[in-house]
Amino acid sequence: MDLLDGYPKYAHLVSHYPGMAMYRRFARLNAQNLLYMQSELAHLELELDTIAKEDSESDDATRQSFQTYAYNMRRAQGADANQWKKVIEIRNCLREYNEALLQNLALHSLPKPRSHDRSILKDWLNRPEGGNQFFRGLEDEFLDSSDLIAISKHQATDDLFTRWVSQTVVPLAHKSFLHRYKVNPTFWPLHCSQHILRLLLTFHCVLEIGLDLREKRTG
């Protein structure tokens, strides 16, 4: 399949390598949005309390009944319907506010991308046969953002060994021999990088288990 450069090729990459699925959380904007909605609701709350007080102190028996009989409030017409209209306005605003709160909770529970995944993606985006530096302007800086999140379920602990492998071993392997391979030039370097990383991490885990068993036997 011939892929169009830019977003289509990048999206294809993410669909095949979930570790490359990283995006900005926009934490400041989300927090600012919640503050705006909170302020809006606070004013709506005051407006509703004011209208409810006016209705309860009215000479109209029907309006007085609104505080104990919502059915009459829903059936009200004209100026008498102000309280119900305000309730509906608040209900819609609350729905958006609550959804935004839960979305923010979910966003803050997502992990940051692993440094080696970020390094691999940067390398792919800079390669002529990869992303070919298609990001422009402000988008070009998104991988350097401090509020990146990873949506892959395969995120693991980003320890010192992992960072050393991704930042030292993998780039060295590319310079030494991976650049000679021409198979699937678009995704081959990324594919090899991830396989090298998995192989070395597996070896590292086996080595740790072996050392642990040895200590138990000698201890």
Tell whether 67 and 40 lie within a shared domain: yes
- Measured distance CA(115)–CA(94) in Å, rounded: 38
Tell whether 170 and 183 lie within a shared domain: yes
What would the two tokens of residue 53 be?
A: 């007080």
pLDDT tens-digit readout, 27-45: 999 999 999 999 999 999 9
Tell whether 12 and 31 lie within a shared domain: no
Q: Are 117 and 150 in contact (CB under 8 A)?
A: yes
Tell whether 18 and 119 lie within a shared domain: yes
Tell whether 200 and 158 lie within a shared domain: yes
Q: State the pLDDT confidence band at 204, using cuts at 50, 70 and 90.
A: low
Q: Number of folded domains in the chain?
A: 2
Tell whether 121 and 214 lie within a shared domain: yes
What would the two tokens of residue 115 be?
A: 């440094």
Tell whether 165 and 93 lie within a shared domain: no
Tell whether 118 and 102 lie within a shared domain: no
Q: Is the pLDDT of residue 14 over 60?
A: yes
Q: State the pLDDT confidence band at 5, using cuts at 50, 70 and 90.
A: confident
**Domain that includes residue 104, residue range:** 27-109
pTM: 0.71
Tell whether 132 and 205 lie within a shared domain: yes
Instruction: Give ∠ CA 167-181-194 in degrees, rounded to 5.
Output: 35
pLDDT tens-digit readout, 115-153: 878 888 888 888 888 888 888 888 888 888 899 999 886
Tell whether 184 and 122 lie within a shared domain: yes
Tell whether 40 and 13 lie within a shared domain: no
Tell whether 71 and 97 lie within a shared domain: yes
Instruction: Give ∠ CA 190-139-147 in degrees, rounded to 5.
Output: 80
Q: Identify whether 93 is part of a domain.
A: yes
Q: Identify whether 1 is part of a domain.
A: no
